[in-house]
Structure 1
Amino acid sequence: MFDRRTAVRVVGCSLATSLVAGVAVLISDHRSDSSPSPAVTIAGPYANLLASSTDLGPSQLDHAQLTVGLRGPTRPDPLLRWADTKGLDVRWQPGEDWAIVEGAPPVVAEAFDVPVHDYRGMQGQVFYASPQQPEVPAAVRNTVSDLGRILGYTPHREARPDHIPLDVPGQGLTPTALLTAYNANPLTEAGITGKGQTIVFFAFSGYDQGDLDDFAEMSGLPPLKPVLVGGQPSESRAETVMDLEVAHAIAPDARMVVVNARPTLEGGRTYERIAEMFDATNKQFPGAVWSLSIGWGCDALITATDLKPVQSALERAHRNGTSAFDASGDTGGLECKGGENWSSPPGPDDVGLDAVSSLPGMTSVGGTTLSTDEDGQWLAEQAWIDSPLSQGTSGGVSKLFPRPTWQRRLSIERDSGKKQRRLTPDVSALADPFTGIRIRFDQQDLVGAGTSQAAPVWAGLTALMNQYLLANGGQRLGDVNPLLYRVAAGANAPGFRDVTLGGSAVDVAVPGYDLATGLGSPNVAQLARDFLDIQKGMAPR
């Protein structure tokens, strides 16, 4: 277990033990055997963030840090010695290929030969940042492969559309219709209800228990009483309420857990804190299904090195049987729009992905417009886009990660060069606010919406499939992405409904995989059988 291993911390010349969370990832256009380039000014959304903030001069804060990628998982002694001579601290977890270098901002600035200033953002937040990407110091080039950003603020979001229809008590899919639409009824009719499974929601906002009680009663479901970890994140908002109610509609006997993710936004060490949160959740709820409808910045703001701690934590959770689903976003593929964080005219800089959702270990969930008959029977689906409201499903080509092995069969025109990149989303489900799921919030009947609805749909359905697999001699799905793409490449039954209409602001849906809806939406009963066939060695090769 991760929490039983030893971390090394260097402070001056002393060694001490410390527990840190960790992760691993390689930035696809940083080659470990290439010569480092000089420090250069960072362009794109990062520059937009700093340009829209007030430069307060050299940082007066008490702390700055950056993540460094290592060339291997062995103890980085040259880095430790170099940091000691520079007056910096290093935190490294044995077995990891990353470390954290930290110290007073002037010391960090001198050691890496880049300016580190304080900035006041458009929302009044004060943070440190360097406008330049530092190079790897010559003394540690044989140990350090690449560097993350020197940035003490991470723009964050809840993946929800700006408009949710009100006063529609007679509309929206009921739990029965939702299960029917995605062909989960064969499982539920056989007694598969999520019993024995746990679904964890990472949230920036809280919930009102009265809304959950009303939803369960009006839907004829068992009581919905989540386990709360870390206290209520903030005031009740539709986001967390919707996540819980959507998953409960699908898997009413699963245990629901809400983890307060707000502490990840504090202290300028966001991605390390996310990893710590993931590790703590993995320890407390091993083998759970995770659902995220929140985001911590677009992939153009950071490097893959910054995300190393998160990827490693995901991999540890996968080994315990956890599957993780993250909303791809609701900006139609323009996840690098600054919103309240920076102002800029629409342009190519807006095109990007939610950084955490694009991790190879995360299943990115896009959104669709779903059509059913009056009984909930599936009729059609298309990629969700609402141009007048500037919202819709997000996805695209990663700026950070190479193409995973399980995506290498795909042919995507926008990624047809030599740099084969990670593609998102992986899958999709209903997200259009005019064809969504009936929920209860603030004592009103609403219709759920956004890829933040699609992610808990997949989480709930995965809880059902896990129970089915365990009941039939299989095992929890764990890292589900390789399995999803294996089913899509050929299975005993079609596990997906291909979405070929619609698109995002950047891409269009086409037959097969596309950057708007991924592999498509689930045909659950058949997908569950396909997974079982794979686990029992009965699937096509």
Structure 2
Amino acid sequence: MNTNRWWQRTTTCIIPAFLILFLLLTACSIPGGIGSGGGTPTQASHTSASATQPDPAKNDTCPDLSGYPTAGVDCYTPYQFRVAYGVEALMQKGFTGKGQTIVDIVSFGSPTLQQDMDAFDQQFGLPPIKIQIMNPLGSKPFDPSNKDMTGWAGETTIDVQIIHAIAPDAGIVVLTSPVSETEGTVGLPQFRQLEQYALDHHLGSIVSQSWGASEVTLRDAAGQQEIHKWDTFFQKATMQQGMTFLSSSGDNGATDYTDLQATKLSSTATTSFPADEPWVTSVGGTSMIRNGTTIQEKVWNSNGGGSGGGFSDFFTAPAFQKALPASVQSLLKNRRGVPDVAGDADPLTGMVSYQDGT
């Protein structure tokens, strides 16, 4: 029997710059709740609806969520999300992600990823896609009783469904690690290997990083050595190969964890890596709230979480932040400030997602 689950980590990545707001967002998940249930990603053509039949791709009604008590109270369909952020009009002009591929870096992945995507596409009239799933570092058998694995499965599913909803003609590659990224350096070397693999094999030009480690847990010598390796990688990949990297700014507001088990929050303000990286676009979270026929946004700071944000202790302000007004400079104090952009990340106001298969 499927159970309702929420994943509080924020997620994902997108095509032209105007789409980055949608990546690395948390969505309201519906396990086995809507629709029916290795190679190069394919982008099938979307069949236009007839004049007498509504286009399912413009569905502005969420499925019945009454049977899912943990689902969001104000969920949005992919079409509503695209309209809210002005993406639908751009799609009508041909900005659909065609010709681009996004690489999603995760631990473990999800055993029902393709099945869930197929059901999601059918429900919302999106073009079918074949997700390319690769595990160049090896894999672990999926254990449905392991909360860490099921959490990553949910994160992975949310990532790819939001990417496909906003950029339906883009390819998607999921690279999985057999090591769970937690805090400190745990899992970071493996993720760096995956990103280098994506670079060496030209898998895509955009990388989604729905994960992060608190700066507090990376202050020791091992942490600083790992940060240096990542910084060198990000700089070369960006400057020499034109890669775009995106990262969620975190779910713990102005603080973050102090221990490798992620059980204790710091009593002082801190940020997380890789969102603090100057070569990475940091994506924060908002709550998107309906007010009659209009939609308003505010900083996400409710329902047990909040958008990460603050000033890095590791990195100085990059050139693009030094060009900001003096009032902002007085806050930065020559520190890298995060996030750079933001979009809906509140679990109770997110985009509806299909999880867990049947």
Give yes or no for TM over 0.5.
yes
Distance, in Å, in 1 between the alignment partners of 2:84 and 2:96 is: 16
- Asked if residue 289 in structure 1 is aligned to residue 196 in structure 2, the reply is no
C-alpha change, 1:378 and 1:337, in structure 2 (3 Å) is farther
Distance, in Å, in 2 between the alignment partners of 1:194 and 1:404 is: 29
State the SS of the aligned residue for 2:218.
Answer: coil
Task: Using CA pairs under 8 Å that are at least 6 residues apart, name the structure with larger relative contact order, 1 or 2.
Answer: 2
More displaced stretch, 412-421 vs 427-436: 412-421
Q: Which of 113, 116, 121 does residue 211 from structure 1 map onto?
A: 116
- Asked if residue 202 in structure 1 is aligned to residue 96 in structure 2, the reply is no
Distance, in Å, in 2 between the alignment partners of 1:392 and 1:223 is: 33
Asked whether the equivalents of residues 331 and 394 of structure 1 are also in contact (C-alpha less than 8 Å), the reply is: yes
Distance, in Å, in 1 between the alignment partners of 2:332 and 2:262 is: 34
State the SS of the aligned residue for 1:301.
Answer: helix
Asked whether the equivalents of residues 101 and 172 of structure 2 are also in contact (C-alpha less than 8 Å), the reply is: yes
Q: Deviations over 1:382-436 (max 9, x none)?
A: 10111xx431101101010111111013368797389510000000001112211
Corresponding position of 2:157? 241
The Cα shift of 1:276 comes to 2.7
Corresponding position of 2:282? 364
Distance, in Å, in 1 between the alignment partners of 2:199 and 2:180 is: 16
- Asked if residue 335 in structure 1 is aligned to residue 335 in structure 2, the reply is no
Corresponding position of 2:167? 251
Where does structure 1 lack aligned partners over 5 or more consecutive residues? 1-156, 445-541
Q: Which of 326, 336, 350 does residue 422 from structure 1 map onto?
A: 336
Q: Deviations over 1:112-140 (max 9, x none)?
A: xxxxxxxxxxxxxxxxxxxxxxxxxxxxx
Where does structure 2 lack aligned partners over 5 or more consecutive residues? 1-7, 12-24, 34-61, 65-73, 143-148
- Asked if residue 310 in structure 1 is aligned to residue 230 in structure 2, the reply is yes
Q: Give RMSD over aligned pairs.
A: 3.3
Asked whether the equivalents of residues 181 and 372 of structure 1 are also in contact (C-alpha less than 8 Å), the reply is: no
- Asked if residue 403 in structure 1 is aligned to residue 317 in structure 2, the reply is yes
Distance, in Å, in 2 between the alignment partners of 1:372 and 1:164 is: 16
Asked whether the equivalents of residues 228 and 259 of structure 1 are also in contact (C-alpha less than 8 Å), the reply is: yes
Distance, in Å, in 2 between the alignment partners of 1:417 and 1:334 is: 17
Identity %: 28
Q: Which of 330, 341, 355 does residue 273 from structure 2 map onto?
A: 355
State the SS of the aligned residue for 1:381.
Answer: strand
Asked whether the equivalents of residues 278 and 314 of structure 1 are also in contact (C-alpha less than 8 Å), the reply is: no
- Asked if residue 381 in structure 1 is aligned to residue 297 in structure 2, the reply is yes
Structure of greater Rg: 1
AA aligned to 2:287 is T
Normalization by structure 2: what TM-score? 0.68
C-alpha change, 1:205 and 1:414, in structure 2 (3 Å) is farther
Asked whether the equivalents of residues 216 and 258 of structure 2 are also in contact (C-alpha less than 8 Å), the reply is: no
Aligned residues: 279
What does 1:261-272 correspond to in 2, within 5 Å? Answer: 261-263=177-179, 270-272=187-189
AA aligned to 1:298 is S
C-alpha change, 1:335 and 1:159, in structure 2 (3 Å) is farther
The Cα shift of 1:271 comes to 4.4
Corresponding position of 1:220? 125
Corresponding position of 2:87? 184
Asked whether the equivalents of residues 97 and 169 of structure 2 are also in contact (C-alpha less than 8 Å), the reply is: yes
AA aligned to 1:394 is G
- Asked if residue 394 in structure 1 is aligned to residue 288 in structure 2, the reply is no
Corresponding position of 2:242? 321
Distance, in Å, in 2 between the alignment partners of 1:162 and 1:249 is: 14
Distance, in Å, in 2 between the alignment partners of 1:310 and 1:193 is: 31
The Cα shift of 1:159 comes to 3.9
Asked whether the equivalents of residues 367 and 430 of structure 1 are also in contact (C-alpha less than 8 Å), the reply is: yes
Distance, in Å, in 1 between the alignment partners of 2:225 and 2:236 is: 18
Corresponding position of 1:275? 192
Asked whether the equivalents of residues 395 and 423 of structure 1 are also in contact (C-alpha less than 8 Å), the reply is: yes
Distance, in Å, in 2 between the alignment partners of 1:328 and 1:314 is: 17
Asked whether the equivalents of residues 28 and 353 of structure 2 are also in contact (C-alpha less than 8 Å), the reply is: no
C-alpha change, 1:179 and 1:173, in structure 2 (3 Å) is same
C-alpha change, 1:197 and 1:163, in structure 2 (3 Å) is closer
